[in-house]
Amino acid sequence: MERRHFARSILAAAGAIALGAKAQEARPAAAAAAAPAAPLASAAPGLKPFLFEKDETFWYETLRSFGHIAYGGADFGEVVVTAQRIRGGDYDSWHDEWRLTAERVAAEAQKSLAAGHAVSARDGFFRASNYYRSAEFFLHGNPSDPRINAAYDRSVECFRAAVRLTDGAIEPVRIRYEGTSLPGYFYRASGKTGKGRPTVVMHNGFDGSVEEMHYVAAAALAERGYNVLSFDGPGQPGPMHREGLVLRPDWERVVGPVLDHVLARPDVDARRVALLGNSLGGVLAPRAAAFEPRVRALIALDGIYDMSEKTLPLFGGQREVARRVLTAPSAPDIDKALAQVAERDAQARWAFGHGAWVTGKGTARGYLSTLLDYNVADGVAERIQCPTLVCAAANDMFFMGQPEALYAHLTCPKTFLALDDTLGAGAHCHAGAQRLAMARIGDWLDTTFAA
């Protein structure tokens, strides 16, 4: 009876539990009150879709590509014509059309390279890499689909082809980690020489790659005079595709070896090392910083306090009750309810499939059980000692209210950065407003490390 009750609750919640916080309700008043006065829920409507008007999921992923234009990851016309060819809600169509665009752009880049036009080739390879990344995005419900690795491999190949044309400004690296290694890139601070530069270590989240971080934050901070070390951790594309290393909540075990690597470099100032986590990285990075004193500044882009916030109420707020039910050997009523959610909600369908893969659980229920461990609750957030920037998007489709919750629990020096739709920056991780977001983040980092 307990499971049937929870099955009905889960079904009623629909896609709201897909990523732990998909519901678009107003930000909780208590959480908002804990943050500084800011336009967290502006009167402006969300950025109006002009493609995929009835498909929130496809529109957001298209907006994500538009956002990458700012640092060379896309071109407006290429994104528009690709999106116009895609059938809404059709994952195969999404893959086919993005792959077609990626192949055309990559071929043109290769032609430019052969003709000695290095700048054109570099720019083309960067865009092609991002288009290949987008192509395989929705295929993860079937991890054995050969198109996934094919597109991923081409994304990395194109990115590294571009990197080879940066005159040594970006260097591929391997970071020792638990008997294997993690892939990453070291960016030398633009226009700077001498020892001891401030350095930002950064990683992506639930579904983005280390290569994508170039367009999100790495290129932006390198041009501001920061060294950058970006990397993929367990559950993220490189380790997941190559070795099946699944996502883990104790992210300090990942960041520790990364810091060992970067602090061994003579061009890194150990007193000025920041950690930036994007998307799900907004809980992973704070978790790492809570246990890693070598992190001297923290950026949660955007902040997350507890990934199970929307799941726990279905179980009376009791984490262990939720764990018992979600990890039971058999729970057919819940499994059926989750299948019904996925059938009618595209965001849930994608999240359940991708989550089942990257957590290694293999099922939607198994994936939801792992969300119980992705948090900085029970005093973990309070352990963070370094200056922390918590970013928030006013119309975040995934983590509404989470930045405020994280901010409220911090006892370290802290700053709350809210960007909304009046600025064109209210979407999850400020997609579509990369220049603005990175200006605000970079300014905060400049001020923090100058203090």
Q: Which of 278, 302, 291 is nearest to 405 (CA)?
A: 302
Q: Which of 248, 254, 249, 256 is nearest to 295 (CA)?
A: 256
Place of tokens 């980092």: 445
CA distance 132 to 109: 14
Per DSSP, the residues of 92-115 read: HHHHHHHHHHHHHHHHHHHHHHHT
Spatial contact of 321 and 33, defined as CB atoms under 8 Å apart: no
Which positions are annotated as active-site residues?
A: 279
CA distance 233 to 237: 8
CA distance 233 to 353: 19
CA distance 244 to 167: 33
CA distance 272 to 413: 16
Spatial contact of 231 and 201, defined as CB atoms under 8 Å apart: yes
